[in-house]
């Protein structure tokens, strides 16, 4: 997979991730932990079907014999699946998104410390500008709407788990590249492990279940289209794109989420949201444009 194609697929992944907000606005009765449970359950069912078709019986044998990296990655996915939805029930969406905007900085720091990655100045600059854009978009709304310390602490688990996961995937791939005799583990089943863990943890908290048939259809859509498919693609992309770049492009989820809520739920963004979104998109485009120019110069 080329770098350009990996970037394009990662943008598609963020678009699929971003439908969660607009879809949940149309739920009838499902709330809080029940939303997380059904979404994770449908995600797990979709992943079982997909991975069984891709891997066959070897899927379950591989999970049974898996070493610690697969389970560590699965735990990271479970935290990301669960903490995002739980945090939204404890504090405002704006506060959660502002908290999640530190993901590129955390990923870059982890890559520098654990993988000894030397990041170019353009990437650091893009991370800073994108973070400012998201803070500008939602900062005022977060202050006006109030926030919960517990919600902020729960939301912090999302960027921390995401940074840990991307760094782990990069470490495994680099280790295989340095020594081809070392077998590179199949990390796709980690996405399934995360979904199963998330569903198992939230089921007791979601009981008794009250979702309507309408809710189940929407949550099934989230489980398959918003989680299962894009997460499988993201694991494959992690073999091509550096962890900080993945985390930076993932910020587009915020922009897409605002636009979808505007079109699909009537939540029109104000001038602050539009100007902040322009900063984020501008930072992403500038970073990718400089990277493309540098690769062309290197080839020349």
Q: For residue 75, what pLDDT is reported? A: 93
Q: For residue 142, what pLDDT is reported? A: 59
Q: Give CA–CA dist 91/169, Å, rounded.
A: 31
Q: Token digits for 163?
A: 């940074």
Q: Token digits for 63?
A: 């999970």
Q: For residue 212, what pLDDT is reported? A: 87
Residue 115 neighbours by CB under 8 Å, 6+ apart: 167, 170, 171, 174, 243
**Mean pLDDT throughout 172-179?**
72
Residue 168 has pLDDT above 80, yes or no: yes
Residue pair 224/39 in contact by the 8 Å Cβ criterion: no
Q: For residue 13, what pLDDT is reported? A: 92
Residue 92 has pLDDT above 70, yes or no: no
pLDDT tens readout for residues 108-139: 778 877 877 777 787 788 778 877 877 776 66
Mean pLDDT of the chain: 80
Residue 76 has pLDDT above 90, yes or no: yes
Among 15-19, 35-39, 266-270, whose mean pLDDT is lowest? Answer: 266-270
Q: For residue 42, what pLDDT is reported? A: 93
Q: Give CA–CA dist 254/244, Å, rounded.
A: 17
Categorize the per-residue pLDDT at 207 as very low, low, confident or very high, splitting at 50, 70 and 90.
confident
Q: Token digits for 78?
A: 């479970």
Residue 150 neighbours by CB under 8 Å, 6+ apart: 90, 91
Q: Give CA–CA dist 228/164, Å, rounded.
A: 20
Residue 200 has pLDDT above 90, yes or no: yes
DSSP secondary structure code for residue 181 in this structure: T
Q: For residue 283, what pLDDT is reported? A: 77
H/E stretch holding 44:
helix 32-55
Categorize the per-residue pLDDT at 186 as very low, low, confident or very high, splitting at 50, 70 and 90.
confident
Helices (H), 116-207: 121-145, 149-178, 189-206
Categorize the per-residue pLDDT at 161 as very low, low, confident or very high, splitting at 50, 70 and 90.
very high
Helices (H), 207-299: 213-221, 229-237, 243-249, 252-265, 271-299
Domains of the chain, residue spans: 3-299
pLDDT tens readout for residues 219-267: 999 989 988 899 888 888 888 887 777 877 887 887 887 788 778 877 7
Residue 72 neighbours by CB under 8 Å, 6+ apart: 164, 168
Q: For residue 59, what pLDDT is reported? A: 82
Residue 146 has pLDDT above 60, yes or no: no
Q: Token digits for 221?
A: 């859509």
Q: For residue 3, what pLDDT is reported? A: 83
Q: For residue 95, what pLDDT is reported? A: 67
């Amino acid at each position: 997979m080329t770098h350009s194609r990996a970037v394009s697929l990662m943008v598609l992944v963020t678009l699929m991730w971003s439908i969660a907000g607009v879809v949940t606005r149309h739920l009838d009765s499902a709330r809080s932990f029940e939303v997380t449970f059904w979404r994770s359950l449908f995600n797990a069912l979709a992943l079982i079907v997909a991975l069984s078709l891709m891997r066959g019986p070897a899927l379950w044998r591989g999970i049974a014999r898996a070493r610690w990296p697969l389970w560590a990655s699965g735990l990271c996915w479970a935290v990301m699946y669960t903490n995002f939805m739980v945090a939204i029930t404890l504090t405002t969406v704006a506060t959660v998104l502002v908290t999640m905007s530190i993901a590129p900085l955390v990923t870059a720091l982890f890559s520098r410390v654990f993988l000894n990655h030397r990041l170019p100045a353009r990437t650091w600059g893009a991370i800073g500008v994108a973070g400012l854009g998201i803070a500008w978009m939602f900062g005022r709304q977060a202050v006006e709407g109030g926030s919960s310390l517990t919600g902020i602490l729960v939301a912090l688990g999302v960027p921390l788990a995401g940074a840990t996961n991307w760094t782990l995937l990069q470490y495994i791939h680099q280790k295989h590249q340095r020594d081809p005799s070392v077998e590179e583990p199949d990390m796709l089943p980690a996405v399934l492990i995360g979904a199963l863990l998330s569903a198992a943890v939230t089921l007791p908290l979601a009981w008794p279940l009250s979702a309507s048939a309408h809710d189940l259809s929407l949550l099934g859509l989230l489980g398959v289209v918003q989680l299962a498919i894009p997460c499988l693609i993201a694991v494959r992309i992690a073999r091509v794109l550096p962890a900080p770049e993945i985390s930076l492009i993932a910020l587009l989820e915020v922009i897409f989420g605002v636009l979808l809520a505007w079109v699909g739920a009537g939540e029109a963004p104000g001038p602050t949201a539009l100007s902040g979104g322009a900063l984020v998109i501008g930072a992403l485009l500038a970073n990718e444009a400089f990277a493309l120019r540098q690769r062309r110069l290197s080839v020349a």
